[in-house]
């Protein structure tokens, strides 16, 4: 048995590999015409990719009432991150345009247009680089406005919230990010494809979390379909997933969820090293392809305490970060600075029942004494403070939601890589293991709402670490904190 076969999948109608498939001609086209985006490397499909293409495009055999028709109307492929999902999507996109239905209507759907465009751009690249395919186009494919064939085919891109999605006609839907899109979007695509004899909605995804309503439902259908012939014989399900309870760095578990790795592309040791520095939820979701909770503890206390090697060194201009609780019960001020690749951080002040005037006064004192590189704060939580400091001419950086997600992931990575040193402040020792992360699409951030305690000290520390990491080190020497 091949190591790269999925843990769970819908078996062929014959029960073996001797089944007819429209994928055979598609694979011939790929072998002859496909061009890698990196022209320095020859493109070559891995065994697992060839296998899944044939299975997805299985057709009913001779003698069947639907002989020659695609078996599946809905397909879900779930596999770990960085296994070539977008390449597969692009290959199916070429199939949809040139080898599927007369007058094809191919669409890419994702949570955002840029995400849906990933597959579209790969299809465009292959057409642009292949004269025989390009001659079949009405005109050269555009970068963003779709593409049309001379025989009336088209390829368009939609976001999950696109107006009029319910009425879009579909011969093939390439559905990305199944784990973060609503059920009604999938239903709209299934409805749009039902008038086509070979209409197909194809989702390629990684595992989700407990808020992934659509993907959880499709998994339920998939497990039923994989059990054998029945009412779901036209539902294709192909799941690569690590065994439940496996350690995140277990080699066999990583191979089970990552068929490209099992086929020899990449290093098991390198992936093991990578997952050891990630939050466990990210390692399980993206590399073991397992469902996780939508919220969970963000930092093991042992990992944090290993970084207690000292705060901000003398003679450096710090980044000053400020955060407060939503009800103004507490506020924390931290100092952080990057020196020789290490970010040093420590608490400067912790206030009870602060007000805006007190925070402005503390910032003024720090400005006069230590000449900070900048003052950092959440743009929603402390927008009045940011505005006041700016009127005084202070250097201020306000972090928005994308900044906060980047700050959370960056701080975690730096702490895990032992590139952070802190002073072991008791308040942080208390708050750190009680802070909770909340998934936001394919990323995450620290959540005030879901944490079991106020996390103003954690938030200020994380913001300070992040901005210190991305800010060029200042050379002006000042008094120590």
**Domain co-membership, 213 together with 335:** no
**Domain co-membership, 52 together with 121:** yes
**Domain co-membership, 375 together with 450:** yes
Pairing relation of β-strands 330-339 and 436-440? unpaired
Domain boundary among 218, 240, 262: 240
Domain boundary among 240, 266, 289: 240
**Domain co-membership, 233 together with 306:** no
Within-domain flag for 96? yes
Within-domain flag for 381? yes
pLDDT attached to residue 476: 43
pLDDT attached to residue 246: 96
pLDDT attached to residue 170: 94
pLDDT attached to residue 328: 96
CB atoms within 10 A of CB 228: 11
pLDDT attached to residue 34: 81
What average pLDDT is seen over the chain?
A: 91
Query: What is the pLDDT averaged over residues 42-62?
Result: 94
pLDDT tens across 348-374, in order? Answer: 999 999 999 999 999 999 999 989 999
Cα–Cα distances in Å, from 439 out to 211, 286, 397, 436?
9, 13, 24, 10
Task: Determine which of 83-92, 280-289, 294-303 has the lowest per-residue pLDDT on average.
Answer: 294-303
Within-domain flag for 245? no
Q: What's the length of the chain?
A: 481
Query: How far apart are the C-alpha atoms of 98 and 118, rounded to whole Å?
Result: 19
219: domain range? 8-240
pLDDT tens across 68-82, in order? Answer: 999 999 999 999 999
Domain boundary among 240, 262, 280: 240
pLDDT tens across 397-451, in order? Answer: 999 999 999 999 999 999 999 999 999 999 999 999 999 998 887 888 999 988 8
**Domain co-membership, 73 together with 216:** yes
Q: Which residues share a beta bridge with 292?
A: 209
Query: What is the pLDDT averaged over residues 16-26?
Result: 96
Contact (Cβ atoms closer than 8 angstroms) between residue 204 and residue 238: no
pLDDT over threshold 90, residue 194: yes
What CATH number is associated with residue 166? Answer: 3.40.50.300
Within-domain flag for 436? yes
Within-domain flag for 152? yes
Total number of domains in the chain: 2
pLDDT-derived band at 478 (thresholds 50, 70, 90) equals very low
Within-domain flag for 416? yes
What CATH number is associated with residue 371? Answer: 3.30.420.240
**Domain co-membership, 331 together with 199:** no
pLDDT attached to residue 42: 65
Within-domain flag for 285? no
pLDDT cut 70: percent of the chain above it:
95
Query: What is the pLDDT averaged over residues 114-142?
Result: 88
pLDDT cut 90: percent of the chain above it:
75
Within-domain flag for 428? yes
Of 74, 85, 78, 53, residue with least CA distance to 238 = 78
Q: Which residues share a beta bridge with 105?
A: 154
pLDDT attached to residue 207: 95
pLDDT attached to residue 164: 66
pLDDT attached to residue 166: 78
**Domain co-membership, 45 together with 165:** yes
**Domain co-membership, 146 together with 77:** yes
Which of 161-165, 381-385, 439-443 has the largest mean confidence? 381-385
């Amino acid at each position: 048995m091949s190591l790269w076969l999925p843990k769970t999948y819908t078996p062929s109608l014959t029960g073996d590999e001797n089944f007819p498939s429209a994928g055979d001609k598609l694979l011939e086209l790929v072998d002859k015409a496909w061009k890698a985006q990196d022209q320095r490397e020859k493109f070559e499909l891995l065994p697992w990719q060839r296998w899944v293409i044939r299975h997805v495009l299985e057709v009913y055999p001779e003698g069947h009432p639907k002989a020659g028709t695609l078996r599946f109307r809905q397909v879900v492929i779930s596999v770990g991150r960085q296994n070539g999902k977008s390449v597969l999507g692009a290959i199916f996109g070429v199939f949809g345009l040139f080898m599927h239905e007369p007058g094809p209507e191919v669409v890419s759907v994702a949570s955002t247009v840029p995400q849906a465009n990933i597959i579209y751009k790969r299809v465009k690249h292959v057409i642009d680089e292949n004269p025989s395919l390009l001659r079949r186009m009405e005109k050269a494919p555009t970068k963003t406005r779709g593409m049309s064939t001379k025989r009336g085919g088209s390829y368009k891109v939609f976001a999950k919230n696109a107006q009029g999605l319910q009425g879009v006609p579909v011969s093939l839907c390439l559905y990305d990010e199944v784990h973060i899109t609503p059920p009604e979007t999938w239903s709209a695509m299934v409805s749009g494809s039902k008038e086509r004899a070979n209409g197909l909605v194809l989702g390629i995804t990684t595992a989700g979390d407990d808020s992934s309503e659509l993907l959880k439902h499709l998994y339920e259908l998939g497990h039923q379909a994989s059990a054998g012939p029945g009412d779901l014989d036209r539902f294709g399900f192909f799941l690569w997933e690590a065994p439940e309870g496996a350690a995140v760095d277990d080699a066999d578990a990583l191979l089970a969820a990552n068929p490209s790795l099992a086929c020899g592309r990449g290093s098991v040791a390198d992936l093991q090293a990578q997952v050891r520095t990630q939050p466990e939820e990210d390692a399980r979701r993206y590399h073991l392809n397992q469902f996780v909770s939508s919220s969970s503890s963000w930092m093991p206390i042992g990992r944090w305490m290993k970084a207690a090697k000292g705060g901000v060194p003398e003679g450096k201009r710090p980044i000053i970060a400020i955060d407060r609780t939503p009800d103004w019960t507490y506020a924390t001020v931290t100092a952080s600075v990057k020196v020789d690749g290490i970010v040093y951080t420590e608490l400067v002040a912790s206030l009870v029942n602060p007000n805006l005037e007190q925070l402005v006064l503390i910032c003024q004192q720090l400005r006069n004494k230590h000449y900070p590189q900048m003052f950092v704060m959440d743009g929603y939580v402390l927008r009045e403070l940011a505005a006041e400091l700016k009127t005084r001419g202070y250097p201020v950086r306000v972090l928005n939601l994308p900044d906060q997600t980047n700050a959370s992931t960056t701080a975690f990575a730096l702490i895990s890589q032992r590139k952070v040193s802190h002073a072991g402040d008791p308040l942080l020792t208390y708050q750190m293991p009680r802070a909770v992360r909340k998934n936001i699409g394919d990323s995450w951030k620290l959540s005030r709402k879901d944490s079991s305690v106020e996390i103003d000290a954690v938030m200020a520390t994380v913001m300070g670490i992040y901005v210190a990491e991305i800010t060029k080190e200042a050379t002006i020497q000042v008094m120590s904190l």
